[in-house]
Structure 1
Amino acid sequence: MNKSIQETLTLNIEHIGARGDGVSRDQDRAVHVPFTLPGEQVEANQRGDRATLVKVLQPSDERVEPVCGHFSICGGCSLQHWAEGPYLVWKAGLVERALQRVGIEVALPPTQPAWGQGRRRATFHGKHAGPRFLFGFTQAKTHQIEPISACPVLTPGLNAAIPRLAILAEALAPKQETIDLLVTETPVGLDVDVRNAGRIDKFERKGLERLAALAEAAAIGRLTLHGQTALTRVTPRVKMGQAIVELPAGAFLQATRAGEEALAARVLKWTEGRKHVADLFAGIGTFALRLKDKALVRAIESDVQAVAAMKKASDGLAGGKTLIAEARDLFRAPLAPLEMKGLDAIVFDPPRAGAEAQSVQIARSKIDLVVAISCDPASFARDARILIDGGYRLAEIETFDQFRFTSHVEIAAKFVR
């Protein structure tokens, strides 16, 4: 089919693809139709391998009413129209199929919800549009902003802050450009990093005083501009097990508190009884600071500020074992087998790209227990294949859903030999 020609067709949806779109077949070609479900017959405007839903002719019994009026316009959620049960089965299936593609057969139970009170991190966008100021999330597959006043997947605290964050964004936004607010909710206040508002040194005294007033009104603990601290009313802190971690600006956190607790529980359970554990891609110590209660921990992370925060949190703990934290790029310089001498378990939680180089080194080692945490089925499957080819067995695996109504899934797996 010519991709430049649009046709209105009747399509039968066969399954949901890896990104959450319904998939139909047209002349032995897959056609992706967002906001549809398996078994549905729909009318859609097709152009190439993509189609836009016009109307549902025969709805699925699994179709439910979306919980948000912005659904199908806002680009954040793709699956609010699907009943919870089959949706969670499908999420587990994403991991099953990724493993099958590399020759690993496994049958998984439905993905476990880890939504808790909602996501504690979000990136908002704002832009002047004539007399209006638009503040919200980007629309699906565009850079247009969908204004919002509330979002059903965010924590109550983040939702309550949206109107005041919009006022802050409007005050800082350039006239013709989009401003971004990276917001993290902590127990002591919001941590907000503003992008595209200029450097802090451009603000004069009155501008800084206005910033301070806006930050106080929005219950912002710390405000940074491109990572440069503009003001700190209170240092953002979170609890990791028994440790209190002061967050570096822009630090990574699991999206939900419930998700963090679920993943940490699997790490602690599967490493029970181990005395010397390495935590690779350790971040600010999500697992390392919990493991420290019962094991000597060697934590390695590339971000220097994250390492410093982890060390400070560890030093503030009474009791427990020793935590040695070091800055190192494990993509360029993975931990080698000789450096693993004395370890009796390894935990790794890499970014979405996975831990290919590190997995190769682990497979060459004598370590008999590896716990892998991942947010990407494809890179996890690749790394799992490397470990299995190196003599490991996939002993346990579970999946968790922090990003409700999306195709994102978290994986926790235990490898032994």
Structure 2
Amino acid sequence: MGPDPAVATVRLAVRRVLADLPPGAMVLAACSGGADSLALAAALAFEAPRSGRPAGGVTIDHGLQDDSAKRATLVVRTLADLGLDPAGSVAVDVGAEGGPENAARIARYDALDEAARRLNAAAVLLGHTRDDQAETVLMGLARGSGARSLAGMPPTFVRGEVRGEGGVRYHRPLLELDRETTRRACQAMGLEPWDDPHNDDPAYTRVRVRHDALPALENALGPGIPAALARTARMLRDDADALDEFATRAYSELTEREHDALFAQSEHAPAEHPRSQAAEENRPVTDETQGADEDAPGEGQRSVEGEAVVVLGVEGVADLPRAVRTRVLRMAAIEAGSPPGTLAAVHVDEVDRLVTAWRGQRRVDLPGGVRAFRRCGRLLFGPG
């Protein structure tokens, strides 16, 4: 007789991920002690030896509860009993950046990165399920985010990659499975999961989505909402990946095209003047452009232009579909030093107006002290 169907399902998901990893490479399971990560760790302990790979487990002690160290010790013991070696815990200091959930996440991933590098692990497996994915999509929808955010959590990703090397690879084998499956798997294997009290604390957004928003949606629209949201995320991820690829290509072509042309110009080439540009585009000179004339810089403009680190041709950017164009503008801003975490859609939209609705606007100030401005048919991104 074979294993319980839930156990077999979790093991199959892990087996598929292991098949894509280098033979003989160490694999780690990140385990909180909850049902999802515990089922994952047990499946890895079963599958790794059969694929000729060493496997270990690590738990992160966030120090957010009085007995967190004791809990971490119990999880380590369970991991060792499953046959994972090495099995250990890492204590972290959780800061305050971005709220408690985000701060704990930052500390957790930093610790996992360090553990994976120290043990030379080929991958770290995470226990996120389809239900987690649905919650992530709903939270992205509530923020009014774009396709990339609504695409939810990717099944695999790399952190800390520098020029294609040195990154830590993460996999989410259970992203197509629901929580009920992992709970049944733990029960069938005689494992007792730990239920983190934070998972029932309504102070956390994800908890409110889990216990209030999703049940309300299923009440109103019928069952299967988590599966539908996860399916939507998968399709949006495919779309977002394609658009990102198109944008990367376009960005490379546009920057290469402008590089030689920009620096071949005389250092004293005249700046693009709002009045002449309006005439060029057959638009009347409005009060707005007249006002911009007062700010038409001379030497100061040339010095800022000389410091610009990214240059794009306005005409080439304008020819791009909006979904690609805004991605290109975001890439340019980030390349110039604007932090991705604080560069919002509203900032990119204002830069886009320099391309599609230009009426002599002087500049757009972006996070990180970066400024975008339009001169001589070009968009320049540089220090403010």
TM-score between the two structures when normalised by the length of structure 2: 0.23
- Higher Rg: 2
Q: Which has the higher helix share?
A: 2
TM-score between the two structures when normalised by the length of structure 1: 0.22
The one of the two structures with greater contact order (alpha-carbon pairs below 8 A, sep at least 6) is 2
